[in-house]
Amino acid sequence: MREKSKKLYERAVKLMPGGVNSPVRAFRGVGGEPVFMARGSGARLTDVDGNEYLDYVMSWGPLILGHARPAVVEAIARAAEKGTSFGASTEAEVELAAEICRAYPSIERVRLVNSGTEATMSALRVARAWTGREKILKFEGCYHGHADSLLVKAGSGVATLGLPDSPGVPRALAELTVTIPFNDLKTLQETFRLHRKQLAAAIVEPVVGNSGCIPPQAGFLDRLRELTAEQGTVLIFDEVMTGFRVAYGGAQERYRFRPDMTTLGKIIGGGLPVGAYGGSAKLMDQVAPAGPVYQAGTLSGNPLAVAAGLMTLELLRQSGTYEKLEALGARLEAGLVEAARAASAPITISRVGSMFTLFFSAKPVTDYAAAKRADATRFGKFFRALLDRGVYFPPSQFEAAFISTAHTEADIEQTIRAAAEAFRHLAD
């Protein structure tokens, strides 16, 4: 029973839009009422009614070490004892910047900010200033925060100029955003032909995480790199989700790739609000006070987030971390596929390391259109069946799930058993 969650939601609806501070928390994609969490420890969450769940949301990715990792909590506490915010520079900011640059050879300079949205918005501003162009290219189903330029959807046909995907976004601004399908080489090449030397930037999640987990197909990122280089377009990798997640050096390390700019977040704050954008010295030296592109933030590089991030990265550097995450992900994927097959449930699983999505689709999901064809209604039923069995998946068919180092082999087996029961429940 979740009576306390129900009462809290009834109260919250009167105080906050939709009763939440971020839309996906409202459970609109899966039905039912949202669960209010009280605490987390390791791989588990406990709600306000005392129900415990194996967690695969992990605060949407940053908790790669699990909830309340003692070393991270202690680092935050030590920082807080010295002061929560100074509005001045600190030594720890320099240390975190240095570690980011070591992990990402494409980043020679980095600026810490407070969110992924702020990071992507700022990176695009730098790209526009550097190139003197206004148009940007993004890929359908990739989410880069809620800045106006990025809240657009694709129209029909090749390289259709975006239309606002949210009221309040000026049409004139949305029309500067070109949106095309992810993994579509033909459309990619045609877009660069039609908009030759007009695109300031191409921004992409190298592994899509916001229409579910969708890996890049062979050759797609390579061709994107070639086209952007040929036309002087700044290539921005949005690694807010994949950074330090799919490898210590993110998707750039995993796919041996070098973009012009990178945006980061989530893991570099160890669960606290943070973001970062960086790139070559020539690009980043456009940013004030080194250059004319203005961007500032009172809480940027705040001591608490930096302390949590530094400790998280230190622990991630320990030998065997990513091998463990890969092994847990592979076992969970195989177990879910086996359980679904036994129940004759049509699913496909997309996984890159420790991020994955279970789609209720019999066909592979390679882009946003394919993700939209998945059976979201069935996923909602599956989600609720898992929740009743103590497993907390993302409350949306179109969000990636995450494994942490706190998950154990026993946790994975428990999840597979719960999923098998949930699949059979759907078949009844």
| Catalytically active residues, by annotation | 143, 238, 266
To the nearest 10°, report the CA torsion of 244, 76, 108, 128: 90
CB contact at 8 A, 277 and 113: yes
Sequence-distant contacts of 72-77: CB under 8 A, at least 24 apart: 72/270, 72/271, 72/308, 72/311, 72/312, 72/315, 74/311, 75/270, 75/307, 75/308, 75/310, 75/311, 76/270, 76/272, 76/304, 76/307, 76/308
**425 closest CA partner among 412, 1, 417:** 417
Find residue 135's DSSP bridge partners: 199
Distance CA 152, CA 156 (A): 13
By C-alpha distance, which of 54, 63, 43 is closest to 393?
A: 54
